[in-house]
Chain A
Amino acid sequence: MIKKILFLFFAVFAFTAYAQNGNITGKVKDANDEPLIGVSVILKGSTTGVMTDLYGNFSLKGKVGDVVQFSFIGMVSQERTFNGTPILVTMKEDPKVLDEVVVVGYGTQKKVNLTGSVSTVDFKDQALSRPVTTVANALSGMAAGLNIMTTGSKPNEESASVSIRGIGTLNTSSPLILVDGMEMSLNQINPNDIATISILKDAASCAIYGNRAANGVILVTTKRGAMDGKISVTYSGKFSLNTPAKLIRQVSNYADYMELFNEASEGSGTATLYSQSNIDAWRAAEKDPNGISASGYPNYVAYPNTDWYDVLYNPKWMQEHSVSVVGSEKRTSYSFSTTYLNNPGIAPNSGMQKYYMRSNMESKISPFLTAGIRAWGYHTDQERNNIDNLTGTEMKKANPGTYPLYNGYYGAVASTEEDASATNPLYFIDTQDGAKKQTKFYVNPFVKIDFLKHFNFTYNFYYDNFRDEQTYYNSDYKPRMNFLSGTVTNHPATSAELAEAKVYDWRNYEQSWKSNAVLNYSQKFGGKHDVSAMGGYEEYRWWQRVIDVCKKGMVNPTLIDFNAMTTPSYLSGYTRELATRSWFGRVNYAYDSRYLFEANIRYDGSSRFAKANRWGAFPSFSAGWRISEEEFMKDLNLFDNLKLRASWGKLGNSAINSYYAYQSLYAVKNYVFGDDVNSGFGMSSFSNSNLQWETTAVTNIGLDVTTLKNRLNGTIEWYNKVTNGILYQPSLSTTLAYFTSPYQNIAEVTNRGLELTLGWQDNLRDFHYSVNANFSLNKNEVTKYKGALKRGWTNGVYSTNIGDVSTGGNQRVLEGHTINEYYMLNLYKGNGSYFNADGSVNLNGGPKDGMIRTEKDMEWLKAMVAAGYSFYPAKTIGKNGIWYGDVIYADSNGDKVYGNDNDRNFQNSSSKPKYYYGLQASANWKGFDFAMSWAGAAGFKISWWEQSLNSTRLTRCYGIGQDVANDHYFYDPENPSDPRTNINSQNTRLTIGGTAQTETSSQLWLHNGNYLKLKNLTVGYTFPSKWMQKLYVQNLRIYATGENLLTITKFKGLDPEMAAGNGYFPIRQYAFGINVTF
């Protein structure tokens, strides 16, 4: 692939002469005896030259005795003297030149000449054998400094948090992602079509993108045609069994559920909900599950014990078929592909089918003019459902007392003692109907013109069109039944109800275009001075139009077209727009390939800012020293490459979640007068006309080493990234909190970090193996905001300036702390001595881990209260206040109140990891190949206290987490020998609503999120080509692979990457596939 790019690169930039009829002829081949195309053939000492054609042949004017130079990037250049006979040249790969070419902003660069910090991922191998549903997933752990966490696995709505070198900002911290030059998200692109991915990390490499580049840039290039004259057709098929990676376990035995609930009620001093006779009935039925109940239904249906997560999440097969054609005809190269993906999801009605198409075509119209077009797009048919509600109340309100589905009847709440609002999530999902269709197409026509020997001009136009069309309505009547009583609890819609039945039609149209013109210049002086320059201009325009329509009044539940409905319900919609203009330029200078210099500048204007503050300039400078090219180093013969590089630059960011942030807005706010809705306006947000670019200055120092005969390579980089004038909406006082806070340029955040990449590759005869590891460390600190936090006592009055110097809630911004550091109550920690020698209560003598566990703990607590100390938030001691098995909080400010707002403390941790690491290993031997990839992160906390999962506060009809049910504090002072007694549990006692002691955010909620995941393991076999040739097959490979196979973590929620206890479940995939090239 790299060679193909090289060829294009070469064809455009290096070769500037015209072919002429001549008498020097010959043929160039490579070491494998294959003709080499595009080799530059130049008469020494002249500007006359040609390129070899598709068959490696060349012909140019000259005479005997002329010296002809042959050069091709990545190969050793050769010189031959023409002696009258055709010259036959065999070019050899240059082992010294690391021929890797890297895609950088508005061009490509040899990796050895890079002075900025760029990581690359050759995605071809990834795409070949990983059944990933999103690109981000496959990038996880692949490059130092690229931090990816998968946050959602729902088909077609996969999500990931992607950041480069930590969180430098308080708003959108995701990098700029450019796919073939256009901004879009990683989910938009077919993983099979990706050729390479470049990750630009420092200012030197990003500055050419000025605006939006502050969080780094990810450049994605799709596959291009090859100029080798061959046509190859590749089929690739993947079949993946997608399973939930982890299942949430809730109490699924309804009798247990009822007893736990009663325990919580009694413990909280409120009336119990479930009668013993009801519990007994369930227990009896459980013993005879197939017995027939009074209603005629079997006991296991009439007296359900449902595990909802088992019911809803089930393994399903996903399949993907992809065909691609790559080839060339004379002066035209092309590549096209089509892919069909069917991902049924792991929950009902969550599947999707996706159709991708792509064609890239490029034609060399004349020696100086190249034109082409890249076009691709997709269409998605996604099942329309409300599956997202499964992370919300619909799932939380599901308890084991409802049977899912039996004989065509969906279960209703069985027991009359159960809350009527308990749900049947299966019914919920199955009664939502509609369609969700997304279509995207993207075209990029371009021309390249070479002129005046050292110049070329490229013009690109990009057009992107995205449509998202969703309709939504309730499906036809589906009967629900209470199997215990044998009664159907719902009825087909009556005409009065149909009059209110609605069909929703929501459409989102996004369009954008970008136009850019780039002029390149490149020349070599005196053999040692390489000079190149680039300048360009770009404009970008984006529109979004959302139309939201609803009509009600159905004639019949199956007639869901608007024509068949009676009354418009609402018509709404809005538009959003964005425009930017940019000038940019770059200058490179290299002396003798030893000393490398580069400077970039971009001048950007955005419609997000008021006229006066609209423009920002973002320069960068970088330099490299290839120490290995120095004579004294060459003599040592130690390093194949040793390069020291340094860069500094400034970048901009305007990626805020508002398009009109500098304008104060009056939202539509209606009111009714005289029975009619009257349109109205109301102030809804503050303005800030001083809003301007957020800027990030990055200093980067890196050292690239390749040694031990190219077997060991490594990179170490240090960076200091200072973001100034961060665009943020500071939290407003409650007095103003109704209004949208104005974006302001506030705070300075510094990210310092170290990145280490190490790779080893070697051959043991025909066994080839490689190991690559990367590690990154990032220290994030708010270095300037509004001053230090001052809090303390003066003249008996406690004061704090937290409202002035800090913004946020449970996660706050404060100078000297990590961005969004947790700000929560500390748990009380005592020494367990309880009382002083004189019998008075000892402030520091309370329970060691803050939980009231023993009678002595309680005695101490009561003594404290008697001595005038109060314990917030529950305040009183008792079953419905603080009781055995509750935690108490520390009194950080010494005001005798334990656990009020002033006792909250910065917790020295945030939800963002400090460390990321990844490891890839691969090996192949005689056609067998093996690869694995690990990724992980550490140094972060997850705030998690969630109803129905790990909360010990139970809510009527909500589920109860199995872990909590199995192990929670229990002690009844009136009956210390109760068999449920468990005073050593880490989980607090069970309570129900109204007892608030654990309902306040504290250290109790913070969980260690560190993890290491085996992201992928692949084993493959490529059939020997001599067998295959008989079948006219160039290449045939089969493989088996697994994704997300193993997670090592202490976090007990669903997934540490999702940093949540619930959600659409992360998937684990077991897959096999086949690749055939004809």
Chain B
Amino acid sequence: MKNSIKKLYKRLALTTGLGLCFMGCVNMDLTPSDQAASGAVWGNATMAEQSVNGVYNMLYYGYNDAWLGWWDTWSYMMDLDANWVGGFGSLLGNNTSTNDRASTRWWQVYYAGIFRANDVIENMPNVPNMDESERSRLVSEARFLRSWWYYRLNALYGNIPYYTKALTSTDDTKNAKQCTQDEMWANLVTDLTLCIEDKNLPDKYSSSDDNYGHITKGAAYALRGIVYMWQKQWQKAINDFQSVKDCGYKLYTGSGTNSYKQLFKLANEHCDEMIFSIQCTDKDNGSSSHQKNHFYGSRCLPNDGSGVGLGWTNYIVNPRFVDSYENADGSPFNWDDYIPGYSSMTPKARAVYFYRDGLTDSEYANAEKNGADMSKYLKSGNEARILKAYSNRDPRLGASVVTPYSIYSGGISGVATNYTYRFPYRTLNAPTYDYATDITAMAYYTNRKFVGEGMELIVNYSPVDLPLIRYGQILLLWAEALNEAGQTDEAVNKVNEVRNRAGAQPLNSNTYTQVAGKDDLKQRIMKESHWELLAEDVVFFDELRWKTWKDLKFATTDDNGAVNGMSQWWGKVTYSYKWGGDNYWILPIPANAVQIDHLTQNPGYN
């Protein structure tokens, strides 16, 4: 008995010993190894520097994901297909403060970028073991990015809170003072001036520099110039744009007459014209890229994996805008010059001119049923007649838009193949190789800019940098400022730099292009901006600044009195817009922010 008890204790001791070796050693201070904790980031120079990359990263939002609130669909140049893209309530007349794409998401994304920038601006100065000049440069970069997002927020929402502190708690955004638009412009001038005064910020990076893509002084001048434009401080704007030029930025002209088109190709994404662009690559499966190729493209693009082309025609180009492109000699385009009586016909009736040669009986019957005036139909000359209307225009039209009966090189068949945009659509394959959109039953203008040709881009995402500020745009702003400041001739020169590069008839070179004074030039510059900058998400902000947005976007066009909207070539409206009142010039502050942060809603919004 005793013996067995002894044995038992031995065994017990052994077992508990074994047990204890598992006990008392489990560590409960666990940290993740795929994310850094805040303390770690700001105690380490390398990580602190990488946190600046995290600020830049916010630039991808809205461009590399499926959530697309691209600004050119707000401008009058482009339209959205409301069948596929919801959440744009404001364009359709129901601009409530809970609209997704129309109000809440950009607010969320821009402020996220701002807070990341604030984190850098506040914490970077205290990071140990860091080179002073680098520290200063990185803070200036963050400050520029913050200004960029504030610039857009201010233009869009009008009365916004100006947060400048790093976030520590979710209460930090509450009860903030809302600045008027003018107060915010002043804040931005102050911030951007700090950037400009930072001697550590280089004027410009060479295209092969490993740091290419970081913010430059040129970009800071450009953005401050843009802010001055909003303040109508013309001379200050002129000075800043001059400084942009002095930093070494210039127009890309390396491909001769083809330069405008080639500007947006991969080879030229680092050219001297790019002042501030989202840096893209295809090296990480699309997370550092944009998707304009995907959403602007057509079904002729390479296979998306399911047997159809990867281009979704959710965003299309507006016919009123297409019609605004001048003739090659600089004269205004007028349909009646090509097809007498065109503009007096109803959109429905004039569809006849866009039909393909040799319609089948049922195609013909459908055309008739849809209201086309088939008495004007030419069985073998219809295509040639309409082609003339597009063949002699500002070259930027052909470079930017897939127009009727033009040829587009696609890749759906696996090899570069030419497709012709005919209507009605028959087949993407032999024998006709018709150009195909999502909705082949209707005829819409689509984009060429940012869309790959042939087998150039065979995935959804595009590796080509997306310009946010480029010198061509700065030249037009510069011209506008000069014109406003009374320096008309100088202004004309700036515009002509742009027109010459594009191959358009220069101003003051013939009767059509003769500038008739300041107001005339202003009108010309505004149009020029649209032609030059289609699909770049820039002009909408100018439309707001010029106060032309309402008249352009919400103009009545249709024979039924419908308002401009997603329309077919001949002007027949599919989805029409609605102007919601003068409160529309600025967006409603998201309801959630009003409720939780206690912000005051913009007037006119319920």
**Which residues of A are interface residues toward B (Cβ below 8 A)?**
18, 269-271, 273-277, 368-369, 412, 416-421, 423, 427-428, 431, 447, 449, 451, 457, 459, 461, 474, 480, 482, 485, 487-491, 493-494, 496-497, 500, 513, 515, 517, 537, 539-541, 550, 569-570, 573-581, 605-607, 611, 614, 659-660, 663-684, 686-687, 730-739, 741-742, 800, 802-804, 870, 872-876, 880-881, 895, 897, 900-902, 955-956, 992-994, 996, 999
Chain A residues with CB under 8 A of B562? 269
Name the residue on B nearest A667 (C-beta): B35
Chain A residues with CB under 8 A of B1? 18
What is the CB-to-nearest-CB distance from B353 to chain A, in angstroms, rounded to a whole number?
Answer: 18
Q: Report yes or no: B22 in contact with A539, Cβ–Cβ below 8 A.
A: yes
Complex Cα gap A581–B104 (Å): 44
Q: Report yes or no: B8 in contact with A451, Cβ–Cβ below 8 A.
A: yes
Chain A residues with CB under 8 A of B554? none
Q: How would you classify the secondary structure of chain B's contact residues: helix, strand, loop or mixed?
A: loop
Q: Report yes or no: A497 in contact with B38, Cβ–Cβ below 8 A.
A: no
- Residues of B571-589 at the interface with A, using a CB-CB cut-off of 8 Å, are 572-576, 578, 580
Interface-centre pick from A578, A680, A800 (highest chain B CB count, 10 A): A680
Chain B residues with CB under 8 A of A447? 15
Complex Cα gap A876–B58 (Å): 37
Q: Which 10 A-B pairs have the closest CB atoms?
A: A680-B53, A803-B595, A682-B54, A738-B112, A494-B414, A490-B307, A733-B596, A669-B57, A734-B590, A803-B596
Q: Report yes or no: B287 in contact with A670, Cβ–Cβ below 8 A.
A: yes
Chain A residues with CB under 8 A of B22? 461, 513, 515, 539
Complex Cα gap A570–B437 (Å): 32
Complex Cα gap A412–B58 (Å): 39
Name the residue on A nearest B307 (C-beta): A490
Contacting residue for A574 out of B33, B89, B438, B573, CB 8 A: B33
Name the residue on A nearest B280 (C-beta): A672
Instruction: Say yes or no: is B208 at the interface (Cβ < 8 Å to chain A).
Output: yes
Q: Report yes or no: A420 in contact with B440, Cβ–Cβ below 8 A.
A: yes
Q: Report yes or no: B28 in contact with A607, Cβ–Cβ below 8 A.
A: yes
Chain A residues with CB under 8 A of B19? 459, 515, 517
Interface residues on B, range: 35 or more
A872 and B96 in contact (CB under 8 A), knowing A421-B308, A515-B22, A574-B32? yes
**Which residues of B are interface residues toward A (Cβ below 8 A)?**
1, 4-5, 8-9, 11-12, 15-16, 18-19, 22-24, 26-38, 40-41, 47, 50-59, 81-84, 86, 89, 92-94, 96-98, 104, 107-109, 111-112, 115-116, 119, 161, 167, 169-170, 173-174, 208-214, 279-281, 283-285, 287-288, 299, 302-303, 305-309, 312, 362, 365-366, 369-370, 413-415, 424-430, 436-442, 455, 458-459, 562, 568, 572-576, 578, 580, 590-598, 606
Q: Report yes or no: A581 in contact with B28, Cβ–Cβ below 8 A.
A: yes
Q: Report yes or no: B458 in contact with A496, Cβ–Cβ below 8 A.
A: yes
Name the residue on A nearest B214 (C-beta): A673
Chain B residues with CB under 8 A of A738? 108-109, 111-112
A677 and B424 in contact (CB under 8 A), knowing A739-B112, A873-B94? no
Complex Cα gap A916–B51 (Å): 52
Complex Cα gap A994–B83 (Å): 7
- Sampled A-B contacts (8; CB under 8 Å): A368-B8, A517-B23, A673-B212, A678-B50, A733-B174, A737-B592, A874-B93, A956-B439
Q: Report yes or no: B307 in contact with A480, Cβ–Cβ below 8 A.
A: yes
Q: Report yes or no: A449 in contact with B279, Cβ–Cβ below 8 A.
A: no
Contacting residue for B210 out of A274, A474, A676, A992, CB 8 A: A676
Interface-centre pick from A573, A578, A580, A875 (highest chain B CB count, 10 A): A875
Complex Cα gap A665–B40 (Å): 10
What is the CB-to-nearest-CB distance from B286 to chain A, in angstroms, rounded to a whole number?
Answer: 10
What is the CB-to-nearest-CB distance from A476 to chain B, in angstroms, rounded to a whole number?
Answer: 13
A671 and B438 in contact (CB under 8 A), knowing A497-B302, A677-B288, A875-B93? no
A369 and B303 in contact (CB under 8 A), knowing A674-B210, A901-B591? no
Chain B residues with CB under 8 A of A874? 93-94
Contacting residue for B97 out of A500, A686, A901, A993, CB 8 A: A901
Q: Report yes or no: B441 in contact with A417, Cβ–Cβ below 8 A.
A: yes
Name the residue on A nearest B99 (C-beta): A873
What is the CB-to-nearest-CB distance from A692 to chain B, in angstroms, rounded to a whole number?
Answer: 14
A681 and B47 in contact (CB under 8 A), knowing A419-B438, A673-B213? yes
Name the residue on A nearest B94 (C-beta): A873
Q: Report yes or no: A665 in contact with B35, Cβ–Cβ below 8 A.
A: yes
Q: Report yes or no: B288 in contact with A671, Cβ–Cβ below 8 A.
A: yes
Complex Cα gap A659–B111 (Å): 27
Complex Cα gap A418–B439 (Å): 7
Q: Report yes or no: B362 in contact with A277, Cβ–Cβ below 8 A.
A: yes
Query: Total contacts A to B, CB within 8 angstroms?
Result: 365
Known A517-B16, A669-B57, A736-B115; 15 more pairs at CB < 8 Å: A273-B439, A420-B299, A420-B437, A459-B15, A474-B305, A485-B427, A487-B427, A539-B22, A659-B32, A666-B38, A683-B51, A732-B596, A736-B173, A739-B115, A802-B595
Chain A residues with CB under 8 A of B279? 671-673
A873 and B96 in contact (CB under 8 A), knowing A497-B458, A678-B53, A681-B54? yes
Chain B residues with CB under 8 A of A276? 366, 369
Contacting residue for A665 out of B15, B32, B82, CB 8 A: B32
Q: Report yes or no: A734 in contact with B108, Cβ–Cβ below 8 A.
A: yes
Chain B residues with CB under 8 A of A678? 50, 53
What is the CB-to-nearest-CB distance from B413 to chain A, in angstroms, rounded to a whole number?
Answer: 6
Name the residue on B nearest A496 (C-beta): B455
What is the CB-to-nearest-CB distance from B573 to chain A, in angstroms, rounded to a whole number?
Answer: 8
A449 and B595 in contact (CB under 8 A), knowing A665-B36, A732-B170? no
A803 and B111 in contact (CB under 8 A), knowing A491-B414, A676-B210? no
Complex Cα gap A421–B439 (Å): 9
Q: Report yes or no: B288 in contact with A670, Cβ–Cβ below 8 A.
A: yes
Complex Cα gap A880–B174 (Å): 38
Complex Cα gap A660–B284 (Å): 27
Q: Report yes or no: A500 in contact with B458, Cβ–Cβ below 8 A.
A: yes
What is the CB-to-nearest-CB distance from B82 to chain A, in angstroms, rounded to a whole number?
Answer: 4
A993 and B84 in contact (CB under 8 A), knowing A665-B37, A680-B52, A873-B96? yes
What is the CB-to-nearest-CB distance from B558 to chain A, in angstroms, rounded to a whole number?
Answer: 10
Complex Cα gap A682–B50 (Å): 8
What is the CB-to-nearest-CB distance from A629 to chain B, in angstroms, rounded to a whole number?
Answer: 38
Complex Cα gap A802–B288 (Å): 38
Name the residue on A nearest B560 (C-beta): A269
Name the residue on B nearest A479 (C-beta): B307
Q: Report yes or no: A579 in contact with B26, Cβ–Cβ below 8 A.
A: yes
Contacting residue for B94 out of A490, A955, A996, CB 8 A: A996
Q: Report yes or no: A677 in contact with B307, Cβ–Cβ below 8 A.
A: no
Complex Cα gap A876–B116 (Å): 41
Name the residue on B nearest A501 (C-beta): B305
A674 and B41 in contact (CB under 8 A), knowing A669-B53, A732-B170, A736-B173? no
Chain A residues with CB under 8 A of B592? 731, 733-734, 737, 803
A663 and B37 in contact (CB under 8 A), knowing A277-B362, A420-B299, A576-B32? yes
What is the CB-to-nearest-CB distance from B2 to chain A, in angstroms, rounded to a whole number?
Answer: 12
Name the residue on B nearest A410 (C-beta): B307
What is the CB-to-nearest-CB distance from A804 to chain B, in angstroms, rounded to a whole number?
Answer: 7
Chain A residues with CB under 8 A of B4? 18, 368
Interface-centre pick from B51, B83, B209 (highest chain A CB count, 10 A): B83
Q: Report yes or no: A420 in contact with B98, Cβ–Cβ below 8 A.
A: no
Q: Report yes or no: B30 in contact with A674, Cβ–Cβ below 8 A.
A: no
What is the CB-to-nearest-CB distance from B348 to chain A, in angstroms, rounded to a whole number?
Answer: 10
Chain A residues with CB under 8 A of B594? 803
Chain A residues with CB under 8 A of B365? 277
Q: Report yes or no: B8 in contact with A449, Cβ–Cβ below 8 A.
A: yes
Complex Cα gap A421–B309 (Å): 9
Contacting residue for A489 out of B54, B89, B429, B576, CB 8 A: B429
A994 and B414 in contact (CB under 8 A), knowing A417-B441, A665-B36, A674-B213? no
What is the CB-to-nearest-CB distance from B67 to chain A, in angstroms, rounded to a whole number?
Answer: 12
Contacting residue for A539 out of B26, B84, B281, CB 8 A: B26
What is the CB-to-nearest-CB distance from A406 to chain B, in angstroms, rounded to a whole number?
Answer: 16
Chain A residues with CB under 8 A of B415? 494, 496
